[in-house]
Amino acid sequence: MSARPAGFRLLFFCLACVGIGQSMLFSILPPAAREIGISPFQVSTIFATSAFLWVFVSPWWGRRSDVAGRRKIILTGLLGYALSMTLVAIMLQIGLWKMLPVAVLYPLMIAARCVFALLGSGTGPASQAYIADRTSREDRTAGVALVSAGMGLGETIGPGVGAALAAVGLLAPLFFSSALAVLSALAIWRFLPEEGPPRRREEDTGPRLRARDERVVPFIAVNTALQAVRATTVITLGFLLQDAIGLGPRETVQYSGIGFVILALSGLFAQLFLVQQLRPTARLMIRSGSALMLAAFVVFCLGASFTAYAAALALLGCGLGLLRPGSAAAASLAVGAHEQGSVAGLLGGVAVIGNVVGPMVGTRLYEVAPIGPFLMNAAIMALVLVYVFASPRLRAVA
């Protein structure tokens, strides 16, 4: 591995803290929203509106990190995430206390989540660019996978931490995740090494990397599909378990938490064992990840028990753990050193269109039939698998 392993470990820890909060939020929000009177479709729009802003803001943060330096942007993102989680928790508590009507609370929930998009969207691209700055071409895939695994670790332990903190209060996990993000920001500010001065704006004279650049279009397309199916699954999973198995609100939180642990553990296995030990090529990771994700949604469509859904989540997590870092590393290798922040921002930003469209269509399909979102996801991943083998640029990935 490369030059600054201590910095990599610190980023791993900080992204794990974000993952803890995200997994707790996805477990808590659906049942809590139902108690308040917010519908499944409205829940999807809370996330989708934030994701829509993310599309435009994340690429800007990525380009900004090329000029201002990675550490400043990572710090801004972590503090923005902490603020957003605090505001979401406050809005949920107000709703549970029935202090505001849903018509007022719902837009406030959207606004609270949008803070994450406006500020928090800088952490991901700046972190990935930090890794790219400090890895060779041979180590790029493993480096990206290592830091990506930080989010997976957080998603693994998050439900357990949330269950323990729920004894204090339903929303205590969200306030805890906000405090973790602040501590992470302090650690980044104090300990993350940043070599070299930021580039001045007048030095940034090259053409701006754009989403239609043929070097990155295939990777953006694959990541958009990945984001769509993942977000749709995460948002509808709680509803599926509650309705298909017949669970109450508290049981739904528990079973959803178990499901998210399975999803995260399998992703962690792929990123920390398969990638780090076997060192597969980015091309193999993209192909095998796509195939595993397609298999996961086939199992979702055929299954009708928690055991089947757990198996599907294990396949999905392993597929995501290969496809996401594989495509990110391949995109990083496709551009120059001065474009690392830009490509990370584009990949994490434009691809979030999937987070907007997927859940909104998926929740509508869910209202028709619970299997609808998973049939949609299977169709998307079947198309991705064909594209992965048919695209000349994806076939040429090393």
**Cβ atoms of residues 346 and 60 within 8 Å:** no
pLDDT of residue 110: 94
Helices (H) and strands (E) in the chain, counts: 16, 0
pTM: 0.75
With respect to residue 368, please indicate whether it lies within any of the assigned structural domains.
Answer: yes
pLDDT of residue 119: 93
Nearest to 260 by CA among 30, 52, 32: 30
CA atoms 293, 296, 300, 302: torsion sign = positive
pLDDT of residue 316: 96
- The first and second tokens of residue 37, run together, are 């009177």
With respect to residue 198, please indicate whether it lies within any of the assigned structural domains.
Answer: no
Range of the domain at 119: 5-192+212-395
* Amino acid at the residue 156: T
With respect to residue 382, please indicate whether it lies within any of the assigned structural domains.
Answer: yes
The CATH number assigned to the domain holding 133 equals 1.20.1250.20
The H or E element spanning position 383 is: helix 372-390
Residue 137 burial by Cβ neighbours in a 10 Å radius (0-12, 13-18, 19+): exposed
The parts of the chain modelled with pLDDT lower than 50 are: 1-4, 197, 200-203, 205
Q: Which residue has the tokens 């979401």?
A: 88
pLDDT of residue 248: 75
- The first and second tokens of residue 259, run together, are 């499901």
Length of the chain (residues): 398
With respect to residue 176, please indicate whether it lies within any of the assigned structural domains.
Answer: yes
With respect to residue 203, please indicate whether it lies within any of the assigned structural domains.
Answer: no
pLDDT of residue 198: 52
Number of domains in the chain: 1
With respect to residue 199, please indicate whether it lies within any of the assigned structural domains.
Answer: no
With respect to residue 251, please indicate whether it lies within any of the assigned structural domains.
Answer: yes
Rounded Cα–Cα distance for residues 122 and 260 (Å): 25
Nearest to 360 by CA among 15, 16, 51: 51
With respect to residue 204, please indicate whether it lies within any of the assigned structural domains.
Answer: no
pLDDT of residue 318: 95
pLDDT of residue 40: 76
pLDDT of residue 83: 96
pLDDT of residue 335: 81
